[in-house]
Amino acid sequence: MSEASINKSDIRETMLSLEAAALRSARENYLDYVATARLDRSEPIENDEQAQAEVASDLAEALDDTLDDQADKLDRLKEIDFGPKSTVTEGAVIKLSGRLFVVAVSTSRFTCHGHEFMGISTQAPIFEAIEGAKAGETVEFNGRTLVVEQVA
């Protein structure tokens, strides 16, 4: 992968699209669980129904946290400067020991223009090891030596 083949604008848009889809999915899951947590108060409530509603309510609360986290990631992505970078910093696209990463928010693997990337946040333990590194430098992480091959 050459710097010319890195279109950071397209990478950013791909990440925004994927995170927006994840937010929609989290919101749908949340609404589904909230709906199952409601009891029909017009009929006698069985103990079994009450227990199921309480479990559904607990799950809805947990999903609410996921929903908030997903919304925060999407907002954060919109704020990050994806301009050119010469060192590993937020908004950089890096090639680290043969793998491509976007320093922004944590994501699962995704593909953009035929290249596989993974997002890492500045809160990730590996970021502390690679922050400020330039292309060609080596860094130590978890007892392994990693090569920062490219920074864009």
Residue 8's contacts (CB-CB under 8 Å, 6 or more residues apart) are 82, 83, 84, 91, 93, 152
**pLDDT at residue 78 in the model:** 94
> CA-to-CA distance for 123 and 44, rounded, in angstroms?
50
Whether the predicted model's global pTM rises above the 0.85 cut: no
Most confident option among 31-35, 47-51, 65-69, 119-123: 119-123
C-beta of residue 149 within 8 angstroms of C-beta of residue 95: yes
Query: What average pLDDT does the structure give for the chain?
Result: 84
Give helix 47-79 / helix 8-37 axis angle, nearest 10°. Answer: 160
Task: Please count the residues of the chain.
Answer: 152
Task: Name the strands in the sheet holding 115-121, side by side, starting at the edge strand that comes first in the sequence.
Answer: 110-112, 115-121, 99-104, 93-96, 144-151, 138-141
What are the pLDDT digits (tens) for 81-94?
A: 999 999 999 999 99
> CA-to-CA distance for 149 and 141, rounded, in angstroms?
15
